[in-house]
Amino acid sequence: MGDGGAPVGVAEAETTASTRTTVAASSAPSTPASFTSAPSISGPAAPGTSPVVDRVLLDRRPTRWGTHMPGIVDRVGTVRGRPTLALTFDACGGPGGRGYDADLIALLRAERIPATLFLNERWVRVHRGLTAELARDRLFAIASHGSRHSPLSVDGRSAYGIAGTRSGRGVLAEIEPNQRLLTEVTGTVPRWFRAGTAHYDDVAVEIVRRSGLRVAGFTVNADDGATARPDSVRQRLVNAPDGAIVLAHMNQPRGATCDGLRAALPALKAARTRFVRLT
């Protein structure tokens, strides 16, 4: 959360969520009855795919690096009396990352749990038809997970052994191709971006924002890149703070993400958890 203030755009999100939840609470709950699927958390006006970023910004030197800083949205608005969670699932693509956790998506659909799906260009190119199908399901919001799954840096910083982009123009090259592809495949312009590894420097964050996109961070890493055991996933979900953006993965069907979520559902239902998408 950076400097301790609300992340960019969160005040608007809180207002929207609070207003719409009042309306939702007065209507019959969706099935299963223990859950309320809340409306989406809104982003900025629809971005273009050819952003104009001034030369001064492209040449600026970064002063911060990591997963949490001003400009990264890492929580959503809350309402009184019930917890709110925003489940987000990354599909990273590339060698070892092209899979699809069909059981996870089926579970979300069966329980009517909305989620935001961050899709990488390499994954989309393997799963064009599936991407279009997921986009047609109003339960899900489709967002961008970049083109090469690179950490977003203007000077080549790396995360988890993955090399980052090396310049401001490299940042744009990580954003724009997948933005165009997702718009073509889904018919909708993505409004949210999460970098590979969710690492950024402060200049890269500003470039993303000036491109018309919101920068998605996270509050809770639920599955450690789909390597965590089911009980660990369950505990992290059950213990997630109110308003958390939860980061998990949908591209590793042999991982424990689905089993962990399924195991967490009884406790989340008992708490009358309210789920929201980022849109």
The tens digit of pLDDT for each residue in 169-213 reads: 999 999 999 999 999 999 999 999 999 999 999 999 999 999 999
Domains parsed from the chain with CATH numbers: 10-20+31-42+54-275 (3.20.20.370)
- The HSE-up count of residue 125 (CA atoms within 13 Å, CB side) is 14
Residue 37 has pLDDT above 80, yes or no: no
Angle (CA) 242 41 276, round 5°: 55
- Give pLDDT, residue 53: 67
Lowest mean pLDDT among 11-25, 52-66, 117-131: 11-25
Handedness of CA 258, 259, 260, 265 (dihedral sign): positive
pLDDT at 20 over 80: no
Q: What is the pTM of this model?
A: 0.84
Whether the CB-CB separation of 92 and 25 falls below 8 Å is answered with no
